[in-house]
Amino acid sequence: MRATAIAMIMLAAPVAAVPADGVYDGFDCTAPVSDQRVTLQGDRIVYYESSCHLTDPRSVEGWENATLYWANCRGEGQDWRERTLLMTRMDGDLIVIGDGWAERYAPCPNLQPRLD
């Protein structure tokens, strides 16, 4: 019993601070439509033409505001799964890192999240 409890503690990685739900944009929050707009809400991240369900959150040792996920995505007639790292900067920017790419998005506090 004790060995099982110790194993469970060792396997459970603490989850880092998750970026704030909201709308973010890579260029201009005031534009009515933007292909650089991202909505983060709960376990979903929605891009211009795709969306992902974020699962298995893991903290990144030494990075206080970073969480690594498996992203199960769908868009433009395709389904895929990839590792995705979400982190926030002190100014509230959302950083999204995938395999071979990274993007920075500024918060858009005047926009309400829409997950349609």
pLDDT single digits (tens) 14-62: 454 567 899 999 999 999 999 999 999 999 999 999 999 999 999 999 9
pLDDT single digits (tens) 47-106: 999 999 999 999 999 998 899 999 999 999 999 999 999 999 888 999 999 999 999 999
Q: Is residue 4 part of a domain?
A: no
Q: Is residue 62 part of a domain?
A: yes
CA 20, 25, 29, 33 dihedral sign is negative
> Residue 35 belongs to what domain range?
15-107
For the chain, the average pLDDT equals: 86
| Side-chain-facing half-sphere of 67: CA atoms under 13 Å | 19
Q: Is residue 116 part of a domain?
A: no
Q: How many domains does the chain have?
A: 1
CB atoms near residue 89 (< 10 Å): 12
Label residue 54 exposed, middle or buried (CB < 10 Å: 0-12, 13-18, 19+).
buried
What CATH number does residue 44 fall under?
2.40.128
Whole-prediction pTM: 0.79
Q: Over the Cα atoms of the chain, what is R_g?
A: 16
| Side-chain-facing half-sphere of 107: CA atoms under 13 Å | 13
